[in-house]
Each structure stands twice: as structure tokens, then as C-alpha cells.
Amino acid sequence: MRVTHFKSLASTNKKAREFNDGNVVIAEMQTKGRGKNKRKWHSGRGGMWISIVLMPKTDNIWEITFVASIAVQRSIKEVCSIETRIKWPNDIIYDDGTSVKKLCGILTESIFKGCSKKMIVGIGLNANNSLPYYLKDKATSLKDITGQRVNMRKLTCSLLRNFDALYDTHTKKGFMPLLMEWKRLCGIFGRSIKIITQRKAYYGKAIDVDDECRLVVRLKDGSIKRISEGDVVVLK
């Protein structure tokens, strides 16, 4: 992977569109960091704002999002000795026993240009950055958890190494071994959740994720629902 580093960018995902397969774009801060559905992603100095450009075998952005989630979970454990969990579909969360807070969000986008197609995996991980007051109830950073500054160089190297190894597994062995690992790290199975989709909100218990990365939920009336997009709120 070839890494290009910037002091400041509007968005690493936007900049990454100018790069080919195998490139990585890193910014020390973003002025217009984005989440899903054009939501604002707060990206002050000190965080890890990074985009990886790929041409994967799959067209399913969630498979690659899942690969990135496992890589982030492993790197946080390796570098900071913190146990985190994955929250479907694109978050890494930290549960301190009293609350569940978002530590990292992943935004994977497919880009089509003529006949060529690439994917951009954007990873936003709160490391040494400060968070605004309005996110304090639902977000946290590695520095807030450990009380110490994280070595960003180590964290970045660990993340790229883990991602590379997992992506290699995806290319050579397919998605199934990675889905097994993702499920082991998922922090919402068996928990009561609310899922807000673009059309409506559902309440129930998360019970599984299927082979197409859809969340399988047992709704309050006992029926089973498979959900392909949305935001999960953990209720208890």
C-alpha cells in the first residue's frame, strides 16, 4: 500500500477518488468529514482519518466494511490493550458497563467511472482528538478511555497491516471465514435494540447477521426481520 499524508483535507474519502487501487490517503484533520447519508463526521486534529482505495472481488460494500471493522478492533487491542466490539453495520463501540459509546465509524463507497470500478474504505477512529460536547454522551476516544495519548504511528501501521492481512484472506478464501470472525466480535447479539431504517424504526433483539451482511432481528411480536440498512441503538 502507498500512503499519502496530508495536513488537512475536506474529506479523505473525497480525496481518495483521485487515487488508484492500493493507495491510502491520511489526513491529520478533515474540514468536511462525512458519515453515511451525508451526515457530518467530526474530525479534529489528533484522530485517525484514513481512506483505503481498493478493487475488491465483491460488489458488496458491507463485506469490505466488515473486513475493516475487524482490522480496527484488532489494532485497538494490539496498540491500546482495549477490548472493543463491533456494532452492525459500520461502528466500533466501547462498552464500559454503564454505556455504549462509538469509537470509530466506517464509510465504504463504490465509485464507478466508465467501465472501471473501485471502492473507498473510509475509517474514522477517535484517538487523541477532542470530541464536541454534543457527542460526549454517545462517542468516546482512545485517549478518553486510557487517559493517555496514543502513538498514532503505531496505530496507523497496525491498522494497515491488519487490514492488508484480512483483505488478503478475503481475496484468497472469500468472505465466510471473515464473517465468522466478525460475528465473534459483534457486540449486539442478544441485546435489545432499536433499528432506525430510512423507512421506519423497529424494536427487537439482534440475533444474527446473514451471509449478505443483513442484520437478523427477532421483533417484539416474535417475527424475524432481515435488515439491510440502518442505524442501531443499543437499549440494554
Rounded least distance, CB 115 to ligand BT5, Å:
26
Closer to ligand BT5 by CB, 50 or 159: give it: 50
Residues in 71-100 that interact with ligand BT5 by CB under 6 A: 90-91
* 219 contacts ligand BT5 (rule: CB under 6 A): no
Strand locations in the chain (E): 2-9, 23-30, 48-54, 85-87, 91-95, 100-113, 116-125, 192-196, 201-209, 215-219, 224-227, 231-234
Report the alpha-carbon distance of residue 226 to residue 118 in Å, rounded: 27
Rounded least distance, CB 173 to ligand BT5, Å:
27
Alpha-carbon dihedral of residues 76, 82, 87, 91, nearest 10 degrees?
-40
| Grid-cell match 475488491, residue found | 56
* 152 contacts ligand BT5 (rule: CB under 6 A): no
Rounded least distance, CB 80 to ligand BT5, Å:
16
Count of chain residues binding ligand BT5 (CB under 6 A):
27
Which of 135, 165, 176, 235: binder of ligand BT5 (CB under 6 A)? 135
Report the alpha-carbon distance of residue 39 to residue 56 in Å, rounded: 26
Report the alpha-carbon distance of residue 163 to residue 172 in Å, rounded: 14
Which of 4, 6, 42, 169: binder of ligand BT5 (CB under 6 A)? 42
Question: What are the residues binding ligand BT5 (CB under 6 A)?
Answer: 11-13, 30, 33-36, 39, 41-43, 49-51, 90-91, 102, 105-107, 122-124, 126, 135, 139
